[in-house]
Every structure is written in structure tokens, then in C-alpha cells.
């Protein structure tokens, strides 16, 4: 998707790269410490490189590393990574209308390359899917530029961490910079009352369920936030329908 001339020659491709560049330092610090953590856990350089390129999911990698060190069964490691990455099911459901016109191989590639930051930046730039070919091209060009820089940044910084693992102490805690970058841009999207409630409910549920195994507190947080918003939205729709100012049904039909 990065090699298509229609994408990289488009102005939105450069805009997507610029938007990602603004948060790239924090993401690079996260990738750097993930590379360090993989090597210090006992993985060989080849294993760490393959995990960086093939998995391409920082939170899942960091969750799986302690389990690999402890010799946990493969199903436990896979289940943990699955639970940690369940948020991408939500992302995929939201992006469906943006991507369904693309060939399957391109949808799969886009799904693999889309990260939390890419998703957040993309939906902020394009709150609703385009209706015309020109609008869809702009969306894909933006996503290609954004995801392209993100992939290069993550893989490059992880490889540097793998190469310098013996010289960078884990106590530096640089990986937290990536979390701060994600939090900063996520807060910019909390622009409505319902989104504020969703963020508060998700945060409270994640903390309350922190002791659950396999990072299931993330799943609990997502479910709690979605359920709370659905109930509030339904209540708001019922209240609007019952209010005196509600539009009268046409032709006397309900």
C-alpha cells in the first residue's frame, strides 16, 4: 500500500506521515524498550527480530514476554495476547465502512499495519467514511502515510533496542513514554459528554479488575464502557422521543 503512486503522491499521504511524526518519539521509546525487554528475557536476537516484524504489537509482546520466560504453555501465551489485542476488534468494526470497498488482501494488510495511534489519528482526521472515490482515495492515502511511518518507527526502534540491549538498562523505563503519547492523543478525542463517560468507566473498570489473569481487565474495561454508553444512548433516545418537542409521526403512523 505504500508503493502505490496514487497514495504516496497524494497530499493526505504526507499529512498522515506528519501527524504520526508528532507522536513518533514516544512510540520510538516504547519500541526501544520492547526490544531491550525481549533480549533481556532470554530470547535470541533472531527470535526477537522475528517477533518484532511478525507480531508487530507492543502490548501483546510485553504481555507475552514474562510468560515465555516462565515457560507457560503456548495456549496461555496466545490467549493472553488475544485478550490484550481485543481492542482491535472494536477498531475493525469501526473501520469496516472505510475499508470494505478494498480488495481482501489490502484489507488484511491495512488491519495488520493499523495500530492504536494510527486508528486514533485516522478517525480524528476522517470522522465519517467518504462517499466518493476521491474521498476514499484521500482516506487510504492518509492511512498509508500514517501506518508507513508508524511501522518504520516501531520496527526500527525495536531493532535498535535489540542491538543495544546490553547497554540500555530496563530501569530507564522509556517504554512508558509510548503510553504517555497514546494517552495524550486519546484525550484529544474525548470531546463529548458520552466519550468522557466512556473513558471514565473504562478506566475505573480496568483498575477494579486489574487482578484478573491474562490481562482480562482490558476486556472488562471495554465491555463496561460499551455497555454504559449503549444504555445511556438508549435512554437519551427514549427521552428525546417522549419529549414534547419531538417530531410528530408522518401520516399519523408510529
- Does 238 lie in the same domain as 164? no
pLDDT, residue 238, reads: 74
How many domains does the chain contain in total? 2
- Does 148 lie in the same domain as 38? yes
- Does 167 lie in the same domain as 56? yes
What are the grid coordinates assigned to 90, written together? 472494536
Among the three residues 189, 213, 228, which one is the final residue of a domain in this structure? Answer: 189
User: Is there a domain that residue 251 lies in?
Assistant: no
Cβ atoms of residues 68 and 43 within 8 Å? yes
C-alpha of 5 from chain center: 26
H helical segments located in the chain: 5-8, 11-21, 24-40, 45-55, 58-70, 74-84, 87-99, 104-113, 116-125, 133-163, 176-187, 193-208, 216-242
pTM of the model: 0.74
pLDDT tens column, 216-229:
787 788 889 888 98
- Does 238 lie in the same domain as 163? no
User: Is there a domain that residue 214 lies in?
Assistant: yes
Among the three residues 147, 171, 189, which one is the final residue of a domain in this structure? Answer: 189
- Does 182 lie in the same domain as 79? yes
Each residue's pLDDT, cut to its tens digit, for the chain (254 residues) gives 667 888 889 999 999 999 999 888 888 888 888 898 889 888 899 999 999 999 998 888 888 888 888 888 888 888 888 877 877 888 888 999 999 999 999 899 999 999 988 998 999 899 999 989 999 999 999 999 999 999 999 999 999 999 998 887 766 666 666 677 667 667 766 778 888 998 899 999 999 999 987 667 877 888 898 889 889 888 887 777 776 655 444 444 44
In angstroms, the Cα distances linking 221 to 116, 119, 192 are 16, 19, 19
Crossing angle for the helix pair 11-21 and 133-163, nearest 10 degrees? 40
User: Is there a domain that residue 254 lies in?
Assistant: no
> 235 lies in which domain range?
192-243
Among the three residues 189, 208, 229, which one is the final residue of a domain in this structure? Answer: 189
User: Is there a domain that residue 129 lies in?
Assistant: yes
- Does 95 lie in the same domain as 144? yes
- Does 197 lie in the same domain as 87? no
Cβ atoms of residues 207 and 213 within 8 Å? no
pLDDT, residue 254, reads: 40
pLDDT, residue 166, reads: 82
pLDDT tens column, 19-67:
999 888 888 888 888 898 889 888 899 999 999 999 998 888 888 888 8
Amino acid at each position: 500500500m505504500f508503493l502505490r503512486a496514487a497514495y504516496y503522491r497524494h497530499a493526505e499521504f504526507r499529512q498522515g506521515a506528519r501527524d504520526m511524526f508528532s507522536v513518533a518519539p514516544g512510540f520510538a521509546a516504547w519500541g526501544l524498550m520492547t526490544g531491550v525487554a525481549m533480549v533481556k528475557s532470554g530470547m535470541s536476537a533472531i527470535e526477537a527480530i522475528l517477533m518484532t516484524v511478525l507480531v508487530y504489537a507492543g502490548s501483546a509482546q510485553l504481555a507475552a514476554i514474562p510468560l515465555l520466560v516462565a515457560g507457560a504453555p503456548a495456549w496461555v501465551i496466545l490467549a493472553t495476547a488475544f485478550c490484550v489485542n481485543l481492542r482491535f476488534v472494536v477498531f475493525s468494526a469501526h473501520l469496516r465502512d472505510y475499508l470494505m470497498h478494498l480488495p481482501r488482501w489490502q484489507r488484511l494488510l491495512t488491519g495488520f499495519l493499523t495500530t492504536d495511534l494510527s486508528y486514533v489519528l485516522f478517525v480524528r482526521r476522517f470522522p465519517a467514511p467518504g462517499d466518493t472515490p476521491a474521498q476514499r482515495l484521500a482516506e487510504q492515502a492518509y492511512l498509508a502515510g500514517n501506518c508507513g511511518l508508524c511501522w518504520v518507527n516501531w520496527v526500527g526502534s525495536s531493532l535498535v533496542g535489540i542491538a543495544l540491549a546490553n547497554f540500555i538498562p530496563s530501569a530507564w523505563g522509556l517504554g512508558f513514554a509510548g503510553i504517555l503519547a497514546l494517552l495524550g492523543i486519546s484525550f484529544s478525542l474525548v470531546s463529548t459528554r458520552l466519550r468522557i463517560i466512556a473513558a471514565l468507566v473504562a478506566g475505573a473498570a480496568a483498575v477494579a479488575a486489574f487482578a484478573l489473569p491474562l490481562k482480562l481487565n482490558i476486556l472488562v474495561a471495554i465491555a463496561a464502557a460499551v455497555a454504559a454508553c449503549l444504555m445511556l444512548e438508549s435512554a437519551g433516545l427514549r427521552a428525546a422521543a417522549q419529549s414534547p418537542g419531538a417530531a410528530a409521526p408522518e401520516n399519523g403512523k408510529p
